[in-house]
Structure 1
Amino acid sequence: MSFQFTGIHHVQLAAPEGCENTARQFFGELLGWSEVPKPKNLQKRGGVWFQCGAQQVHIGVQQDFIPAKKAHPAFLVEDLDALCRHLDQKNVFIINDEPLPGAKRFYLKDPFGNRLEFLEWE
């Protein structure tokens, strides 16, 4: 093939209408991600975008929203233990799962019920 994939630009998570302020509090304030301005022509759809390392996470409004309880993005973290302590101090419920060889990881639910994984390779 003459083409190749070079990575992931963004992951989109669905959320209910009116989610923007809650998303800003969770992804922006709690996780510390920077908000990325949406292009003007897409602003009418609602939602909010964030920068997470080299990738973006787009929170998009879905009319018939149902949280993703199994499908999920996994975010690479440097010093996962520090993130875990930070979230614990903010009373965020962390879900431990089966070990993944060579990694430390945990899950949590975003404010809309979507499953998110955070991991650090050892």
Structure 2
Amino acid sequence: MITAVDHVQLAAPPGSEPALRTYYVTVLGMREIPKPPVLAARGGCWFEAGGVQLHLGVEEDFRPAKKAHPGIRVTDIEAYAARLEAHGARVVRDDALPGHRRLYTEDPVGNRLEFLEPVDTAA
């Protein structure tokens, strides 16, 4: 009876919230959403765009996710890639998934992020 993914949580090192806020808001174009006070005391930050939520939680012995990652759909992936590159983010394009354009990048603490756009093959 699963209906949707509510959010994806990624880990981050203590004290990285300012860099995460800059990246997820300014570079990715998401907005920060408030954490409930009891959870805010634990650190980290939450972001939302287009019905997608990413939660960044503080982990004392943090290691970035290099393989595991959220896959986030976007429109106009080439414009999105240009946005990322304009902000100094490294973009790695990948054409290995049939029916999609996709790219990978990393957030400021090294977590892998995938962005993809379905390709209309009917045209």
TM-score bracket, shorter-length normalisation:
over 0.9
Unpaired runs of 5+ residues, structure 2, are none
Cα deviation, residue 52, structure 1: 2.5
Q: 2:93 & 2:9 partners in 1: Cα distance?
A: 24
What TM-score do the two structures reach when normalised by structure 1? 0.93
Say whether 1:56 aligns with 2:53. yes
Q: 1:32 & 1:118 partners in 2: Cα distance?
A: 13
Cα deviation, residue 56, structure 1: 0.9
Q: 1:104 & 1:17 partners in 2: Cα distance?
A: 34
Which residue matches 2:9? 12
Which residue matches 1:92? 89
Check conservation: 2:95, 2:101, Cα contact below 8 A: no
Which residue matches 2:34? 37
Return the match for 1:79 from 76, 79, 85. Answer: 76
Cα deviation, residue 98, structure 1: 4.4
Q: What one-letter code is carried by the residue in structure 1 that aligns with 2:64? A: P
Which residue matches 1:47? 44
Q: 2:10 & 2:40 partners in 1: Cα distance?
A: 16
Say whether 1:66 aligns with 2:63. yes
> Could you give the per-residue CA deviations for residues 15-72 of structure 1, whole angstroms, max 9, x where no partner exists?
0001111110000111110111000111110000001211210010001000010011
What TM-score do the two structures reach when normalised by structure 2? 0.93
SS of equivalent to 1:107: strand
* Aligned alpha-carbon RMSD (Å): 0.9
How many equivalent residue pairs?
119
Q: Once the two structures are aligned, what percentage of the paired residues are identical?
A: 48
Which residue matches 1:21? 18
Unpaired runs of 5+ residues, structure 1, are none
SS of equivalent to 2:66: coil
Check conservation: 2:95, 2:102, Cα contact below 8 A: no
